[in-house]
């Protein structure tokens, strides 16, 4: 629960204690300041996340670490009976219009919806805006730790062909791909095959993106953040249903497009939970600090 921004003046005598309720203290926020914070933080996030994960450039550098981590995820999911991402993708592949829609959704909603919610809580929930801004920042920082510690090859890249011999590169040997007796994993790189707003194989997006920053999934983490940040504003049942449809649709999207495993989504929820604890703690600490300051200097 957010900390109520009230200051109390206590006056005591021999017989009574008077609790005088002062006007609520509103934390002042400036849109341009918040915009600068977001841009600076996202710039740092992008710079750091792209330094890890064994980025594949013209087939020269082969991401064995990310591939082996994907094998670990697959073994865990198989043990849990969850490794069905390829089957689910197969159900939707024949519907090209749906796959193309999911590719656009994957490349746009993640940023557009989160930014929209950020602006909305800035305007509609100013008393707890800092709490949710801190939560978003904390969970993103935790995700960077995950990208560094556990670079993960997404399902759509598991069946990428070996580079031509004249590229001078090495390749993940076919026997490593021959998992459980299959010639390949069977995933389709829907962005490469059907296109989308971002082309990770060439151009500016390929130059700045780390395709192995998959665990945890910030698509799921940020979508969950959107739900809880907006929940108090959703007073009608259809609004609350719509809120929960957003992360559910995002989960379907990241699986159908081959960008994430189920467990990546679980990781996204975990970093959201930890980020909420950190963000709320910082928010309460700051309010307590301001309350003490106001009690010491009532004229402020």
Count CB atoms within 10 A of the CB of residue 129.
21
pTM above 0.85, yes or no: no
Tell me: the pLDDT tens digits for 150-181?
Answer: 989 899 988 765 544 444 434 454 444 544 44
Tell me: the pLDDT tens digits for 7-24?
Answer: 333 333 434 433 434 444
Helix segments in 195-234, DSSP class H? 203-208, 218-230
Write down the pLDDT at residue 68: 85
For residue 120, CA distances in Å to 73, 125, 228, 229, 272 come to 37, 8, 13, 10, 19
> Which tokens belong to 231?
């929940």
Helix segments in 1-153, DSSP class H? 31-49, 64-80, 85-92, 96-124, 129-149
Which is more confidently placed, 218 or 283?
Answer: 218
């Amino acid at each position: 629960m957010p900390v109520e921004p009230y200051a109390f003046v206590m006056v005591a005598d021999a017989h009574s204690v008077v609790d005088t309720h002062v006007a609520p203290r509103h934390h002042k926020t400036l849109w341009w300041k918040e915009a600068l914070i977001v841009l600076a933080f996202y710039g740092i996030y992008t710079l750091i996340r792209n330094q890890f994960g064994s980025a594949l450039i013209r087939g020269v550098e082969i991401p064995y670490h990310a591939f082996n981590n994907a094998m670990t995820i697959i073994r865990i999911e198989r043990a849990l009976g969850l490794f069905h991402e390829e089957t689910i993708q197969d159900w939707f592949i024949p519907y090209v219009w749906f796959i193309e829609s999911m590719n656009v959704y994957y490349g746009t909603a993640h940023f557009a919806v989160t930014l929209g919610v950020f602006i909305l809580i800035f305007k509609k929930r100013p008393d707890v805006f800092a709490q949710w801004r801190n939560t978003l920042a904390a969970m993103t920082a935790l995700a960077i730790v995950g990208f560094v510690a556990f670079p993960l090859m997404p399902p759509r890249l598991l069946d990428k062909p070996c580079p031509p011999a004249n590229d001078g590169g090495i390749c993940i040997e076919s026997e490593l791909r021959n998992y459980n007796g299959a010639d390949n994993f069977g995933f389709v790189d829907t962005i490469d095959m059907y296109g989308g707003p971002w082309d990770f194989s060439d151009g500016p997006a390929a130059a700045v993106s780390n395709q192995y920053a998959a665990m945890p999934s910030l698509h799921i983490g940020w979508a969950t953040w959107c739900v809880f940040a907006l929940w108090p504003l959703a007073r009608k049942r259809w609004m609350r249903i719509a809120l929960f449809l957003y992360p559910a649709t995002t989960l379907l999207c990241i699986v159908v497009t081959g960008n994430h495993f189920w467990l990546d989504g679980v990781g996204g929820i975990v970093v959201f939970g930890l980020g909420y604890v950190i963000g709320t703690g910082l928010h309460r600490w700051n309010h307590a600090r301001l309350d003490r300051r106001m009690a010491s200097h009532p004229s402020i």
